[in-house]
């Protein structure tokens, strides 16, 4: 804050959980611990158990189904959107006569297609959130819950 803002910069409250944890000394490095090696050390103990749990979950049929549902939506949607965008750019470059053709008053084909890009973005966002809510969120939440329960 500057002086002209009228506030005392010392009175500024930071509502940041990471800041609070650092201030409480929860994540202060242990000075007696050895420095981390740039070469990855072998994983042992609890970290190895956690890694095994994550690998088991990743290989599970439920996880593969969630990822498959995501891929079956995302890849075609991205491909269709990119094709639509590139069609717009190519048409604007190679067919200026078509793009300048009036639709209604001063509104021409290029403006309608440009506004269609925005509409497509919002439609795709809505479709993605609906697809996630109906087909993936519950299964992903179940996987997360199961994983967290197994980590305890």
On the question of pLDDT at 147 being above 60, the answer is yes
CB atoms within 10 A of CB 7: 10
Answer yes or no: is 49 within a domain: no
Report pLDDT digits (tens) over 14-58: 555 555 555 555 555 556 666 555 555 555 677 778 888 888 888
**Domains: count for the chain:** 1
For residue 102, list its beta bridge partners: 108
Q: Are 100 and 109 spatial neighbours (Cβ–Cβ below 8 Å)? A: yes
Asked if residue 139 is part of any domain, the answer here is yes
pLDDT tens for residues 92-101? 999 999 999 9
Q: Is residue 33 part of a domain?
A: no
Range of the domain at 75: 61-152
- Does 104 map to a domain? yes
Question: Distance between CA atoms of 88 and 112, rounded to whole angstroms?
Answer: 11
What letter does residue 136 receive in the DSSP assignment?
A: I
- Residue 136's contacts (CB-CB under 8 Å, 6 or more residues apart) are 66, 69, 70
Any domain includes 31 = no
58 touches 50 (CB < 8 A): no
**What is the biggest distance separating any 2 CA atoms in the chain, rounded to whole angstroms?**
76
Is 2 part of a structural domain of the chain? no
pLDDT at 128 over 50: yes
Q: Within a domain: residue 148?
A: yes
Distance CA 38, CA 149 (A): 32
In a domain, 55, yes or no: no
Residue 149: what pLDDT? 85
Question: What is the pLDDT averaged over residues 73-80?
Answer: 96
């Amino acid at each position: 804050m500057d002086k002209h803002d009228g506030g005392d910069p010392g009175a500024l409250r930071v509502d940041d959980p990471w800041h609070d944890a650092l201030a409480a000394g929860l994540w202060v490095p242990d000075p007696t611990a050895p420095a981390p090696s740039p070469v990855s050390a072998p994983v042992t103990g609890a970290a190895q158990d956690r890694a095994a749990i994550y690998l088991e979950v990743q290989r599970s049929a439920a996880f593969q189904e969630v990822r498959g549902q995501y891929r079956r939506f995302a890849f075609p949607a991205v491909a269709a959107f990119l094709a639509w965008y590139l069609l717009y750019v190519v048409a604007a470059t190679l067919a200026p006569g078509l793009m300048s053709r009036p639709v209604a008053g001063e509104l021409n084909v290029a403006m309608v297609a440009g506004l269609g890009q925005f509409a497509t973005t919002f439609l795709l966002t809505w479709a993605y959130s609906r697809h996630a809510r109906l087909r993936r969120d519950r299964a992903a939440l179940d996987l997360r819950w199961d994983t967290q329960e197994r980590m305890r």
